[in-house]
Structure 1
């Protein structure tokens, strides 16, 4: 029997119980079926417009309806089907707090309580959420009475963490999930999500929302005050995110993972108060570490392509090996040190060190796929006792590396240590020294030939860059560019070294290198290079910030802001060599600026 011969009422019933993905194909079958599908196609259009990118800013307008749509109470699931991106802004602890978020332009988040608000779910719906939803009791709560009781209390009281986790799990085409950083704790929904991922890893059963996820951003800061607050730990959550079946990009803020050296698990089990047993934080770190080692025991199992670690306080060496060995083919690794850190008793670490082991682990596990190796806020990251970050020859094993951060101090030759604990003679950077050409030659051999962009960061300490050092760096850059070795190289960013000198310099640095670069299509970005734009189109990976959030009030970035490839953030536009501001006069004398401007003018004649 032809579908066209069925009554409109029967056709509407078929559409109601058909999967949302079938509605459009159904409508294209014939004119009669199209005309009977107009109402449901209009619902698709309205749902896509309203829910494609949604959030919890107005929780009563989104969460209940989407939960009903995802778990069967909403008839055909059209609304849940159209959610592609979900943004979590703030936790609620009571039903009366389910009011609209007030988000100021400076990032402050607040809400007003309304005592008239009660649960939007009937008792029957509450029971269905707990007992009948495929991803409620069956997946996350089965066999765990304490967890089940906690979920019951949350639903009754209005605490939204469990409900948001269920929503995330039930959205069949959810691709992007963003959590806003608010205070010192991770969002309750993120904590529940971590528990859900743990259970899925154990059972091998992944709900549709977790199967479809491609990008997760955990901890996007919108408020400068909350940005500086330390969120404890996070290593185990990161490990669980890496096991999402189809994950491609992870941004993870506030990583603090230390394996406790002085923790005795057996003694702690017998007597937690024993002074040699360790603390409860040691036990948490110990348990997290071994769970992480277990769930990422198999190398090359994660589908992640881009891993961004922001505000890294500590990252245990063994954990680095496990985390960086998990991806099948990692393409981009970005790490940013902590700026404006406020330590607490249980979160005392302030500096990420031993970065060389990161490079070693990446070279071992990701050398065939890695394209970006980027460090931001280098002044808050250390390499090892011999390197500020790492020695550039460590990169030679990477086959396709394109975008790289390197510390300038690691490019400058230093005295070498010998086994009898004496130092060799001081390395001469004088252009007249017979060994000088061989030192410059090292720039040509320092990097993989595939690189396209370099950022030379510095220690930002009280380092005085002598004229010889600046000459050496310039000669090295010129040798790199002229050699023809780096045919894909287009951009070189150099930290404002001139600002590190104790006295204003009498001659502008890097003038010859800039000219040679322009002749060969390589842009060298320096303090004085006025020929270049202010990085309006970033070459380096951009760290997520408040403008990544589609549902907030932050619509447009100020045109006065430009991307800083050394910090990874957007900053106020630099003068780029005006010669009159405080920064310029601190870098060079007035005579130096006058001569530079005159020479620059002649170059245009």
Structure 2
């Protein structure tokens, strides 16, 4: 019979055998295993040290030419290293051996690019290239023609096949980003002199990934490569912030986006430069020769789409893109040129009315709808869970005109409404979904909004916000605010409304509050305004806890609102650190930029918007509010009183008799 104190189980095994067992333990469980007891912790030291060293491969980038070959050699034999690779970033597609040098986020003169240098020491040997080509056959089903092309690319110094092979060995890759570098899938802009082009243009890493996806779809019974299965976030055309490097004319065929939608667990995608050739677009819409792009309805796991610099997509393609998503949650379009944008919104409402949460547009100058600026409120009636809503203010007015009983006028003017009761009722009951939390009222920038329209929106937003709070007696300070701000218009709504937007947090009116231009072609800049716009809405929002952002709003907002953002060099983990100066998010352009004056009321830009008297009133108002908050905090804060009492007791305990202390 064994002694009761004799170790049993794992701790009874020799350390060498326990270390062998650890090879079969998945990495997340290793920490729990090592924390069990001192003996198992000692047995786990070596493998945990391997994980510590492998963590340096978490972000794989091609900034240094040595990184990718070293990583590929490593992950083929070391599953621990492969497990740690999470993010792949392609900043510089090397097409020839002359490109195999460190990539810098600045333009370099090409004086040292003449002639063909010898292949570097880290180039793959002939036997290694044969093995790599076999891996392309095994993991990505490459045909012999594909393999011949890959062999030619490898011999010329093209690193694209190497980037594809990373997906064959790394099971936890979650993010893939391509910079907006001068690196197209055709002829390189910096082709070294003295080097003959291959028989065909060298292919980019995105070309190889697209080809691998198409080949997999033809082998439907085969499992996806492990890296493709884990990939959830893709960014194509991420700006580096350097004009000499970023290619503003970078463009991709819509087929690339369509093929990426087939990745089994893709959640979000940012895509720059998606555009149809005009002949292809016409053929697609009229003859259907290009559709259906191999996208089955509700077949893609894609949930978040952000399109940047899109131009001329056919209606069939746009519909196939939206319908192909299984459960789309956010759709964002920025700085693009598209007609019939209302058709996209209607398609999203039709297929994803229950799942869509964010509908956002930035830089909308070149977005146009059918018989409207962009889309009318009726287009978003099909959304049941929409939380962040962008809409052009003129389209709200237009839809109100269409819904006005007995209206026969063709143009927009205040005579067709007669009074503002109808507009407020339409604004409250018909314009927006009840689930709305954030409203962004945009402007196409075609001139200054008429003062009458401003008053309509001001009172409508005031009414929307007032329905969120229970009736109560206003404080003296609130009453004073209401008198000074609300007295601008003696006309008010007599109709009462139910609490229709219980979750409303913020309203953004800055695009409407910009002064804009007047006159033909926007030549003449109007004089600074002498009356503060949206003062009713601001006052109502302050009382109800709703952030109302305008050109005169100051201070920290109550709610932290997260908008879809265009990725930039700060999102590239391998890029240089962003500038130290504070950056803020521009809610209307969808990008981060250096902090502006913050509506200071003292600079030239502020005085261009409003005259000095208005800014003085704004400053006085915020000083009064700030004083009231500090006064309230000093009276009601139990924590502060407690700290003061503790301080007094400490002084007494120390024997200090000072009355002043």
**TM-score normalised by L of structure 2:** 0.75
Counterpart-to-counterpart distance in 2, 1:112 and 1:33: 56
1:505 equivalenced with 2:529 (yes/no) = yes
Residue-by-residue CA offset, 1:158-187 (whole Å, 9 max, x unaligned): 210111111133311111111111026268
Match of 1:408 among 393, 402, 418: 393
SS of 2:49's equivalent? helix
Please tell me whether the aligned partners of residues 139 and 199 of structure 1 are also in contact (alpha carbons under 8 angstroms).
no
SS of 1:252's equivalent? strand
Match of 2:354 among 351, 363, 368: 368
Equivalent in the alignment of 1:451: 436
Counterpart-to-counterpart distance in 2, 1:574 and 1:37: 53
Counterpart-to-counterpart distance in 2, 1:262 and 1:238: 15
Please tell me whether the aligned partners of residues 259 and 316 of structure 1 are also in contact (alpha carbons under 8 angstroms).
no
1:56 equivalenced with 2:62 (yes/no) = yes
Match of 1:300 among 298, 315, 318: 298
Q: How far has the Cα of 1:313 moved from its partner?
A: 1.4
SS of 2:373's equivalent? coil
Q: How far has the Cα of 1:10 moved from its partner?
A: 7.1
Equivalent in the alignment of 1:65: 70
Counterpart-to-counterpart distance in 2, 1:453 and 1:45: 43
SS of 1:255's equivalent? coil
Equivalent in the alignment of 2:123: 120
C-alpha distance 180-142 of structure 1, shift in aligned 2 (>3 A): closer
Equivalent in the alignment of 1:588: 610
Match of 1:77 among 76, 79, 94: 79
1:429 equivalenced with 2:414 (yes/no) = yes
Please tell me whether the aligned partners of residues 93 and 158 of structure 1 are also in contact (alpha carbons under 8 angstroms).
yes
Counterpart-to-counterpart distance in 1, 2:412 and 2:149: 65
* Correspondence 1:209-220 to 2 at 5 A: 209-220=227-238
Equivalent in the alignment of 1:223: 241
Match of 1:492 among 488, 499, 507: 507
C-alpha distance 453-108 of structure 1, shift in aligned 2 (>3 A): farther
SS of 1:103's equivalent? coil
* Correspondence 1:149-228 to 2 at 5 A: 149-183=148-182, 185=184, 188-204=204-220, 205=222, 206-225=224-243, 226-227=245-246
SS of 1:222's equivalent? coil
Equivalent in the alignment of 1:41: 48
Counterpart-to-counterpart distance in 2, 1:140 and 1:116: 27
* Correspondence 1:321-340 to 2 at 5 A: 321-338=319-336
Counterpart-to-counterpart distance in 1, 2:434 and 2:612: 40
Counterpart-to-counterpart distance in 2, 1:233 and 1:492: 36
SS of 1:195's equivalent? helix
Q: How far has the Cα of 1:231 moved from its partner?
A: 2.0
Counterpart-to-counterpart distance in 2, 1:387 and 1:198: 39
Counterpart-to-counterpart distance in 2, 1:368 and 1:319: 22
Counterpart-to-counterpart distance in 2, 1:14 and 1:602: 69
1:377 equivalenced with 2:363 (yes/no) = yes
Counterpart-to-counterpart distance in 1, 2:588 and 2:124: 50
Counterpart-to-counterpart distance in 2, 1:142 and 1:427: 61
SS of 2:338's equivalent? coil
Equivalent in the alignment of 1:345: none
1:519 equivalenced with 2:519 (yes/no) = no
C-alpha distance 414-581 of structure 1, shift in aligned 2 (>3 A): farther
Out of 111-120 and 488-497, give the one that drifted further: 111-120
Please tell me whether the aligned partners of residues 92 and 183 of structure 2 are also in contact (alpha carbons under 8 angstroms).
no
Out of 177-186 and 153-162, give the one that drifted further: 177-186
1:138 equivalenced with 2:154 (yes/no) = no
Please tell me whether the aligned partners of residues 448 and 515 of structure 2 are also in contact (alpha carbons under 8 angstroms).
no
Counterpart-to-counterpart distance in 1, 2:155 and 2:235: 29
Q: How far has the Cα of 1:144 moved from its partner?
A: 4.1
Out of 157-166 and 503-512, give the one that drifted further: 503-512
Q: How far has the Cα of 1:336 moved from its partner?
A: 0.6
Please tell me whether the aligned partners of residues 527 and 576 of structure 1 are also in contact (alpha carbons under 8 angstroms).
no
* Correspondence 1:251-270 to 2 at 5 A: 251-257=270-276, 260=279
**5+ long unaligned stretches in structure 2:** 1-7, 186-202, 468-498, 518-525, 629-661
Please tell me whether the aligned partners of residues 546 and 558 of structure 2 are also in contact (alpha carbons under 8 angstroms).
no
Out of 549-558 and 445-454, give the one that drifted further: 549-558
Match of 2:263 among 221, 228, 244: 244
Please tell me whether the aligned partners of residues 429 and 472 of structure 1 are also in contact (alpha carbons under 8 angstroms).
no
Counterpart-to-counterpart distance in 2, 1:42 and 1:85: 22
Q: How far has the Cα of 1:425 moved from its partner?
A: 6.3
Please tell me whether the aligned partners of residues 95 and 119 of structure 1 are also in contact (alpha carbons under 8 angstroms).
no
Please tell me whether the aligned partners of residues 499 and 587 of structure 1 are also in contact (alpha carbons under 8 angstroms).
yes
* Correspondence 1:387-406 to 2 at 5 A: 387-406=372-391
Equivalent in the alignment of 1:234: 253
Counterpart-to-counterpart distance in 2, 1:598 and 1:263: 59
**TM-score normalised by L of structure 1:** 0.82
**5+ long unaligned stretches in structure 1:** 266-281, 339-350
Please tell me the root mean square deviation across aligned C-alpha atoms, in Å. Answer: 3.5
Residue-by-residue CA offset, 1:195-241 (whole Å, 9 max, x unaligned): 11111122123100000111111111113425462223331111111
Equivalent in the alignment of 1:272: none
Counterpart-to-counterpart distance in 1, 2:544 and 2:420: 24
Counterpart-to-counterpart distance in 2, 1:598 and 1:336: 37
SS of 2:310's equivalent? strand
Counterpart-to-counterpart distance in 2, 1:541 and 1:78: 34
Counterpart-to-counterpart distance in 2, 1:543 and 1:129: 36
Counterpart-to-counterpart distance in 2, 1:394 and 1:8: 68
Counterpart-to-counterpart distance in 1, 2:111 and 2:28: 37
Q: How far has the Cα of 1:586 moved from its partner?
A: 2.2
SS of 1:547's equivalent? helix
SS of 1:492's equivalent? strand
Residue-by-residue CA offset, 1:348-376 (whole Å, 9 max, x unaligned): xxx22211011110011011100000001
Counterpart-to-counterpart distance in 2, 1:238 and 1:410: 31
Match of 1:542 among 556, 565, 575: 565
SS of 1:379's equivalent? coil
Instruction: Report how many aligned residue pairs link the two structures.
Output: 552
Equivalent in the alignment of 2:575: 552
Match of 2:457 among 470, 473, 492: 473
Q: How far has the Cα of 1:117 moved from its partner?
A: 1.4
Please tell me whether the aligned partners of residues 376 and 399 of structure 2 are also in contact (alpha carbons under 8 angstroms).
no
Q: How far has the Cα of 1:582 moved from its partner?
A: 2.7
Counterpart-to-counterpart distance in 2, 1:600 and 1:17: 64
Residue-by-residue CA offset, 1:461-488 (whole Å, 9 max, x unaligned): 2x13221111111112112212331111
